[in-house]
Amino acid sequence: MSKKRTVIFDTDWWTDCDDCVALKLLLNSEETELIGVNINAFMEISPYSIELFLSQYGRGNIPVSVDKKATDYPDPPKNGYQQKIVETYSDGEFKSADSYETSVKFYRRLLSSLNEKADIVAVGFQNSIADLLLSEGDEFSPLNGMELCKAKVGKLWAMAGKWNEDGGREYNVANSKRSVTAAKIIAEKFPCPITYLGFEAGESVITGGTSVISDENDALAVAMKAHGSENGRCSWDPMTALLAVIGDEEKAGYDKVYGNFTFDENGKNYFIPDESSDRCFVVKKYDDAFYSRKINELISCK
Ligand SMILES: [Ca+2]
């Protein structure tokens, strides 16, 4: 068997729970190896809740970081699935966000340690990756962020935008000034190929319902229930993760539409077709059941 491709997961771990479905999918993938998780929206409880989630699948050793600058996203969830995960799986200890690396340091340390390129699965706001891109050389690498990404990132798989609507506004992009600025920097400057999965692709594909998970104490089942999504949730994030796992848009069941992407100051997205671009968005070739079946299969086992 050939060596597994490596993947870093970049999540908001915020108000929605499809991030949890995506994370379990990445843990269960036989094609890829998850080597790190970054949280791009700061909440004190987020990194510890992800560490506990990972621990439930025997993967508590995967490094976790949190963007300590991203404290200004509005409406952090109270008593969300993060809280429930900590209540359910903690032995009474609590690890504050201070115990974890901050995002740019995490990315620079991790990427510079790799012999091969890693893909990034970005299913939240893009501020951590934008800050990485703008970073200078440090104790881990003399390369600046652009050079480091070019050397060590294979591809960015990003859940962002609404590509059936010119001027559409999607949550991961348009949430705040921080997210808008970041998405624009990434679209225009990121020195590696980007594949976008837009809002329109994931909205009608429902996955992660607790009926597909046999153990009610499974961390994903606990999180989905805490979110009120026992019957499943839209699949923006798990579809993006599955694309990265398969590593090929067409094999994953999509057509590719190549072009140049940008966002205005209000987070509205714009796209100009260009066959020579290394950026594309994906369009589903099959009905929703094709995608939901694959995702549910991957998350159903421990
Ligand atoms: Ca997300």
Q: What is the CATH number of the domain that holds 66?
A: 3.90.245.10
Q: Average pLDDT, whole number, for the chain?
A: 97
Q: Which uninterrupted H or E stretch holds 34?
A: strand 32-39
- At residue 301, the pLDDT reads 83
Cα 16 to averaged position of ligand 1 atoms, centre (Å): 6
pLDDT bin (cut points 50, 70, 90) of residue 229 is very high
Distance CA 295, CA 201 (A): 14
Tally of domains within the chain: 1
pLDDT in tens, 236-292: 999 999 999 999 999 999 999 999 999 999 999 999 999 999 999 999 999 999 999
pLDDT in tens, 74-111: 999 999 999 999 999 999 999 999 999 999 999 999 99
Cα 74 to averaged position of ligand 1 atoms, centre (Å): 15
Cα 183 to averaged position of ligand 1 atoms, centre (Å): 14
Cα 39 to averaged position of ligand 1 atoms, centre (Å): 10
Cα 2 to averaged position of ligand 1 atoms, centre (Å): 30
Q: Name the percent of the chain lying above pLDDT 70.
A: 99
Cα 142 to averaged position of ligand 1 atoms, centre (Å): 32
Per DSSP, helices labelled H in the chain are 18-28, 46-56, 81-89, 103-112, 127-133, 145-152, 171-174, 177-189, 199-202, 219-226, 236-246, 288-300
Cα 12 to averaged position of ligand 1 atoms, centre (Å): 5
Q: What letter represents residue 147's amino acid? A: E
Q: In sequence order, what are the beta bridge partners of 32?
A: 5
Cα 19 to averaged position of ligand 1 atoms, centre (Å): 5
- At residue 214, the pLDDT reads 83
Does 187 score more than 60 pLDDT?
A: yes
Cα 45 to averaged position of ligand 1 atoms, centre (Å): 16
- At residue 3, the pLDDT reads 81
Does 144 score more than 90 pLDDT?
A: yes
Cα 14 to averaged position of ligand 1 atoms, centre (Å): 7
Question: What pTM was estimated for this model as a whole?
Answer: 0.98
Distance CA 153, CA 138 (A): 18
* Sign of the alpha-carbon torsion through 285, 290, 295, 297: negative
Domain that holds residue 284: 5-300
Q: Name the percent of the chain lying above pLDDT 90.
A: 97
45-107-52-229 Cα dihedral, nearest 10 degrees: 70
Distance CA 132, CA 174 (A): 20
Cα 197 to averaged position of ligand 1 atoms, centre (Å): 12
